[in-house]
Amino acid sequence: MSASLWKTPQQRKAERALKREAVLRAAARAFSEQGFHGTSLDDVADRLKVSKPTIYHYVRSKDDILCECVRLGLERLDAASAAVAAEGGVATGLDRLTVLWTEYAHIVTEDFGRCLILVGEDPLPPAARKELRTLKSRIDRRFRSLVETGIADGSIRPCDPRMLAFAAAGALSWIARWYDPDGPLSPDQIARETVSFIVDGIRG
């Protein structure tokens, strides 16, 4: 029998990662549509057309799934904010915020981003909530830092950086609550229009 018929350890690892992501995505959609408490692991298994015991090959519990879904949403935001914060060159604070806010708007239309906004970490045990909220705080500090940069370089009119960061994050997060994947507006259109409303109101 040809050795090529046997999967390598790397192939098995990659296959397991893909299946685990499929479990997490199916759960994120279910949590967003039905709520965390209204979703069972049977519901997740039904969406994937597998048995409930199969789900346990990839996750430990429903809490574990939610924690990972929220973490993945936050890590997307964290990576985007870190990349924009690290940019140098001639870009103004407002230019960099525009890039970040546009990416934020895209993220909250995706499976893990929507779960982050619609469900969040509140149903989780205290230790998990604390860890995820620490990550949230880091993202918020980057938002405020970019606002302060924009005020300093004159691209953003003088304002309270904390208030502006919260207001913008609130407006962008709300997209997850009304976005319809089957609706007439694409994520690109939503991101562009929503961010333009915010930017036009704060431009220096």
Instruction: Kindly compute the dihedral angle of the four CA atoms of residues 153, 156, 162, 164, in this order, to the nearest 10 degrees.
Output: -160
The predicted pLDDT at position 166 comes to 93
> In sequence order, what are the beta bridge partners of 156?
203
pTM of the model: 0.89
Residues 80, 107: Cα–Cα separation, whole Å: 10
The residue with tokens 């690109």 is 188
Cα–Cα nearest to 48, from 59, 35, 37? 59
Q: Measuring CA to CA, how many Å separate 128 from each of 38, 79, 124?
A: 20, 20, 6
Mean pLDDT of 34-58: 95
CA separation for the pair 41, 65 (Å, rounded): 10
Instruction: Taking residues 49-61, report their average pLDDT.
Output: 93
CATH number of this structure's domain 9-202, picked from the four choices 3.30.1280.10, 1.10.357.10, 3.30.70.270, 3.40.50.300: 1.10.357.10
List the domain boundaries for the chain: 9-202
Q: What tokens does 133 get?
A: 């909220």
User: Does the pLDDT of residue 204 top 70, yes or no?
Assistant: no
Report whether 59 contacts 156 (CB < 8 A): no
Q: Which two tokens stand for residue 9?
A: 């350890």
Tens digits of residue pLDDT in 59-68: 999 999 999 9
Q: What is the pLDDT of residues 86-130, one digit of tens each?
A: 876 668 999 999 999 999 999 999 999 999 999 999 999 999 999
The helix or strand, by DSSP H or E, that contains position 94, with its residue range, turns out to be: helix 93-107
